[in-house]
Amino acid sequence: MTIHHHPPEDLLAAFAAGLLDLGQHVAIATHLVGCPRCRDTVRTMEHVGGALLTGLPPTAMSGDALAMIKARLDGIVPAVASPPRRATGLSDVPGLPKFVREYPAGPWKWIAPKVHMRPIELPEASETRVFLLKSRPGTKMIEHTHTGFEMSCVLSGSFVHAGGHFGPGDFDLGDGADDHEIMIDSADDCICLIAMQGDLKLNGMIGRLLQPLIRM
Ligand SMILES: [Zn+2]
């Protein structure tokens, strides 16, 4: 697998610093599973962050700090119930990292001609929603813009737009400034993991006619 499109460095830095919400984190982590180059970048960023922390001047602790920690350790530690496990049915999705397969997922839903989506339920609230998007070969997505951002991780198949050609492992970031038409150019279905905030805004007459039908 040759990866040509990577997340921008500011997103990798935000990932390394733990600043992303869970939906964004899942998308970047999905890319990292398949991309040694970005894994190296993140590791370097984490080392730099760690070196900065250890370089900080030491701060004196209060005299009763140790006693307070002991008191906490002596307190009753409530058992943390692990969430009930459900079959996710995501095992049939090619290229999906193992950690995403652990999340529950809804059924495939029709959202537009030749395009289906499948929501992924995250274990905690996130402003960014995550779902799988499956498009049939030859699908031409109508020109659209985003009211928020959209991160796409290609799991299988491929698509092309003005920004280049995107195949398995590639990462595409769309934001409100984008105005693009996407064509699925693989012989098989193209399946992407998408992390998205905001909504899609379809352009043109057909887009305006279809807009009420599109639910993502
Ligand atoms: Zn990468």
CA distance 84 to 102: 11
Q: Are 37 and 70 in contact (CB under 8 A)?
A: no
What pTM, to 2 d.p., does this model score?
Answer: 0.78
Q: Are 140 and 202 in contact (CB under 8 A)?
A: no
pLDDT tens across 105-125, in order? 999 998 888 889 999 999 888
* Mean predicted confidence (pLDDT) in 131-154: 85
Which residues make up the environment of ion ligand 1, defined by Cβ < 5 Å? 6, 35, 38
Structural domain contains residue 26: yes
Structural domain contains residue 169: yes
Backbone φ/ψ region at 107: left (φ over 0), alpha (ψ -120 to 50), beta: beta
Q: Which of 19, 3, 2, 216 is nearest to 110 (CA)?
A: 216
Centroid of chain to Cα 103:
13
> What's the CATH code of the domain at 181?
2.60.120.10
pLDDT tens across 167-187, in order? 999 999 987 665 667 899 999
Provide the domain count of the chain.
1
* Averaged confidence pLDDT in the chain: 82
What is the Å distance from ligand 1's center to 177 Cα?
A: 23
